[in-house]
Chains A and B, each alone.
Chain A
Amino acid sequence: MKKLMFAGLAAAMLLPIGLFAAGSQEKSAPVGKVVTYFANSKYYSDNTTVTRNEAFEKATGIKVEMQLVPGEDEDFYDKTDIAIMAGDTTDCIRLTNPLNIARYVQAGFLLPLDGLLKKAGYDAEAVYGKFLKRHDGKLLYLPYEQSIHSVYYNKAIFKNAGLPFPKAPWTWDDYTAAARKLTDRERGIYGSYFVLDWEYYYYTIARQRGVSGYKPDGSSNYDHPDFREALKFLNDLGEVHKVQPTFKEYRAKKLGWDTWAATGQYGLICIGSWFTGLLTDPVTYPREWDWGIVETPAAGPKGKNNLMAGGVWAVLKNAKHPEAAARYVAWVSENSFRYAGGIPARVNLSAQEVQDLLGGIAQKSNGSVSVTDLDSALLHNGLGVVDEKISGPKAREYSDIIKQEGTLYLSGEQSLEDTLRNIKSRADKILKG
């Protein structure tokens, strides 16, 4: 009896360990015929993601399995950081933020692709050309998009306000004037919308003028007057001109990055070209109004630059199926735009293919925009290009400092001067190490 009890207790102790081990085993196809990647909760069941993965499976015979990581944006990367450090064998990851790309490169999380792509007979230079970035001579990721900012506008709101559609070239003053005329608080219409959670909007004007976040000596450059002007401009849109939700309203109503596309209550938004993916997805973002597109306003004579960023796909250093992963990364980087919209970071598209690409977006827009509209707003505008974000040493902490102090100013809890001084002093402290 006692031996039986002992055996039972031992089994009870070992059972959780066994279940845990079983749960972490690969559950499907043999090595080489499956590829896994970390997917956040938003994209796990997203219509375009599923369609894209099915297309890859059909084209290559390699099964795609997503490893769900709860959370979005930084919460997602907080978890993948730990998983990778703990030796997780997931194959690929999509890095959407230049700050995270820099972190993962520095951490050594990414597997060099040169050998794998050569083995697969894939010429990345021919496809991506100038968009490829090497680190110590190694190719660590492939870009799947070039995210070019432009202003999207709600045509219905413009028509109701009796206003002509915005035309380039224009400035942020023109933008504000248009937003004022569009705003109708009684009907709940705001002329402008900025995603106030994203701190790079706090210094857009400064970046457009090519102002760096760092001085030559490595300290913070946040005492530059353009940063002051940029933050004041954003604040004044809500608090002074009252053409967009104030920061407190934004937070109280839990507004988000896709609110403009989801609600149709806002006239203008300045955002990256990946946004065309939302505007051409009638399943996730059904709408009854047409949209237009025009190039980003200039920030004065020295600010005739567009903001640019780009997402990448990479193979992780512990990948269990590196060859299949390299094939997936290459395929999805080349073809992502066909499913999710946006502009690919490719140099091997012919003029006709580019026109077809823009034509595809125009067609999916159900007549909202034409190929000419998209071409002049995104590709052939009169603007130069700058990185949308401050990137450099301790960039993530620097961004968080800008966000924390900036939100105090936007909430009316702190003066502009105190905000800029605090950003400068806190950033200098972390940059000093």
Chain B
Amino acid sequence: MQAQAFIEGGPALGPPLPKAGADRISRILPKRRRGFGGEQRTALLFIAPFFVGFLLFNLLPLFYSLFLSLVDFNTLGEVRTDRFMGLKNYLRIFGDRLALASYARSIYFSLIYVAGIILASLFLALLLNQDLFLRTVSRTMIYLPYVANVIAIGIVWAIVLNPFEGPVNALLKLAGVPEQARPQWLLGVASSLPTVAAIKVWQNLAFQTIVFLAALQEVPRELYECAQIDGAGWWRRLTRITLPMISPTMFFLIVVTIIGSFNSLALVKALTNGGPGSATRIITLFIYEQAFKYSYYSYATAQACLLFLFILAVTLAQWRAQKRWVHY
């Protein structure tokens, strides 16, 4: 019947075909074939600008990077990509103690940052979901760091966290904390990376908070009312109603936050430039230096591709694990 409708030419499929041709077509084409008509062409034209940009500035560079990682372009000078090296650049990574340490630092940074921002933004969203005094002002204040310039953030936090003259350590001093116990923040080898992660949490709270807030507002109030009637306390309401109901949103945020956590080059450059020593030399900064300071372009590209594969693997693992805790 569908083939007949196609042959007879429904209103969306153009004029009716001659019967013999229509018979041939109905044997060849799938039953629900859509034609490449005027509307489809217009739709394609509308998405073409984005697609062209995506092709030129995302996809092609991605494939070119893959190609670069397989050749020997590791010197400053003429761009030479004629010496094929296969996987040697990748194998070199596994023998490079400094590269592996940078990957490890990035993972450590990611763990602190993701946990911190998810918990903090959820907490803020839960607060903002209440009828609080100055709620609008609070929302604006949370959003301000998100739109601030990263260099300005670096300068301000360097002043605030100055271990000698900054207000934070001055308050700790007033509180009686001895000098040896006061953190060195951005200047300490052990404290610098967690400090940078905490500043990044502060900077990016707005996005996660807004998304969580939107999800919280979609949770039906009746569920809470029923739970209250049944005598459920706030913890049970949180764990048995709120979290399951917003789990799809939480899953989305965890995935994008993990991906974003590996891209902190600007903030690290502004705050510590990888120091003290190499304490905050995360993999993106290491890749940047390998490429643009030491001209190991192919080696740096291989590291970037490996990072991409690692993030992809983590994302896929999360995708598979979502069945256990995400409720749609």
List chain A positions with a Cβ less than 8 A from chain B.
2, 5-6, 9, 12-13, 74, 78, 81-82, 85, 103, 106-109, 248-249, 251-254, 396-397, 400, 404-405, 407-408, 411, 413-414, 426
Instruction: Write the B30-66 contact mask toward A (1 if CB under 8 angstroms, else 0).
Output: 0000000010001001101100100000000000000
State the Cβ distance, A113 to closest chain B Cβ, in Å.
Answer: 19
Q: What are 15 A-to-B residue pairs whose CB atoms are below 8 Å?
A: A5-B42, A13-B49, A74-B293, A78-B292, A107-B76, A248-B164, A251-B187, A252-B164, A253-B162, A404-B274, A404-B278, A408-B277, A411-B189, A411-B277, A413-B277
What chain A residues lie within 8 Å of B164 (beta carbons)?
248-249, 252-253
Q: Which B-chain residue is minimally distant from A15 (CB atoms)?
A: B49
User: Contacts A2-B38, A5-B45, A9-B45 given: A405-B165 contact, CB under 8 Å?
Assistant: no
What chain A residues lie within 8 Å of B166 (beta carbons)?
252
Q: Which A-chain residue is minimally distant from B275 (CB atoms)?
A: A407
State the Cβ distance, B214 to closest chain A Cβ, in Å.
Answer: 31
User: Once the chains bind, are B277 and A9 in contact (CB under 8 Å)?
Assistant: no
List chain B positions with a Cβ less than 8 A from chain A.
38, 42, 45-46, 48-49, 52, 75-79, 98, 158, 162-166, 184, 187-189, 274-278, 289, 292-295
Query: Which one of B48, B184, B274 lies within 8 Å of A13 (CB-CB)?
Result: B48
State the Cβ distance, A188 to closest chain B Cβ, in Å.
Answer: 11
Q: How far apart are the CA atoms of A192 and B325 in the complex, in Å?
A: 62
State the Cβ distance, A196 to closest chain B Cβ, in Å.
Answer: 12
B-side interface mostly: loop
State the Cβ distance, A75 to closest chain B Cβ, in Å.
Answer: 9
Q: How far apart are the CA atoms of A171 and B156 in the complex, in Å?
A: 41
User: Once the chains bind, are B187 and A252 in contact (CB under 8 Å)?
Assistant: yes
Q: Which B-chain residue is minimally distant from A430 (CB atoms)?
A: B294
Q: How far apart are the CA atoms of A71 and B16 in the complex, in Å?
A: 67
Query: Which one of B42, B292, B294 lies within 8 Å of A2 (CB-CB)?
Result: B42
State the Cβ distance, B106 to closest chain A Cβ, in Å.
Answer: 18
User: Once the chains bind, are B277 and A107 in contact (CB under 8 Å)?
Assistant: no
User: Once the chains bind, are A9 and B46 in contact (CB under 8 Å)?
Assistant: yes
Query: Which one of A82, A109, A248, A408 lies within 8 Å of B184 (CB-CB)?
Result: A248
What chain B residues lie within 8 Å of A108 (beta carbons)?
77-78
State the Cβ distance, B281 to closest chain A Cβ, in Å.
Answer: 8
Q: How far apart are the CA atoms of A103 and B292 in the complex, in Å?
A: 13
What chain A residues lie within 8 Å of B38 (beta carbons)?
2
A-side interface mostly: helix
What chain A residues lie within 8 Å of B295 (beta carbons)?
81
What chain B residues lie within 8 Å of A107 (beta carbons)?
75-77
User: Once the chains bind, are B165 and A252 in contact (CB under 8 Å)?
Assistant: yes
User: Contacts A2-B42, A5-B42, A103-B76 given: A396-B293 contact, CB under 8 Å?
Assistant: yes
Q: Which A-chain residue is minimally distant from B278 (CB atoms)?
A: A404
Query: Which one of A2, A9, A106, A251 lies within 8 Å of B77 (CB-CB)?
Result: A106
What chain A residues lie within 8 Å of B278 (beta carbons)?
404
What chain B residues lie within 8 Å of A253 (beta carbons)?
162, 164-165
User: Once the chains bind, are B293 and A400 in contact (CB under 8 Å)?
Assistant: yes
User: Contacts A103-B76, A414-B277 given: A254-B189 contact, CB under 8 Å?
Assistant: no
Q: How far apart are the CA atoms of A414 and B49 in the complex, in Å?
A: 54
User: Contacts A9-B48, A109-B77, A248-B187 given: A411-B276 contact, CB under 8 Å?
Assistant: yes
State the Cβ distance, B129 to closest chain A Cβ, in Å.
Answer: 40
What chain A residues lie within 8 Å of B45 (beta carbons)?
5-6, 9
State the Cβ distance, B234 to closest chain A Cβ, in Å.
Answer: 43
User: Once the chains bind, are B165 and A413 in contact (CB under 8 Å)?
Assistant: no
Query: Which one of A74, A248, A407 lies within 8 Å of B277 (CB-CB)?
Result: A407
Q: Which B-chain residue is minimally distant from A249 (CB atoms)?
A: B164
What chain B residues lie within 8 Å of A404 (beta carbons)?
274-275, 277-278
State the Cβ distance, A122 to closest chain B Cβ, in Å.
Answer: 28
Q: How far apart are the CA atoms of A106 and B292 in the complex, in Å?
A: 16
What chain B residues lie within 8 Å of A13 (beta carbons)?
48-49, 52
User: Once the chains bind, are B276 and A408 in contact (CB under 8 Å)?
Assistant: yes
What chain B residues lie within 8 Å of A252 (beta carbons)?
158, 162-166, 187
Known: A74-B293, A407-B275. 15 other contacts (CB 8 A): A5-B42, A5-B45, A6-B45, A9-B45, A9-B46, A82-B292, A85-B76, A107-B76, A248-B187, A252-B162, A253-B165, A405-B277, A408-B189, A411-B187, A413-B276
Residue among A6, A107, A411 facing the most chain B CB atoms (10 A cut-off): A411
Q: How far apart are the CA atoms of A254 and B158 in the complex, in Å?
A: 9
User: Once the chains bind, are B49 and A12 in contact (CB under 8 Å)?
Assistant: yes
Q: How far apart are the CA atoms of A147 and B110 in the complex, in Å?
A: 46
What chain B residues lie within 8 Å of A408 (beta carbons)?
189, 276-277
User: Once the chains bind, are A407 and B165 in contact (CB under 8 Å)?
Assistant: no
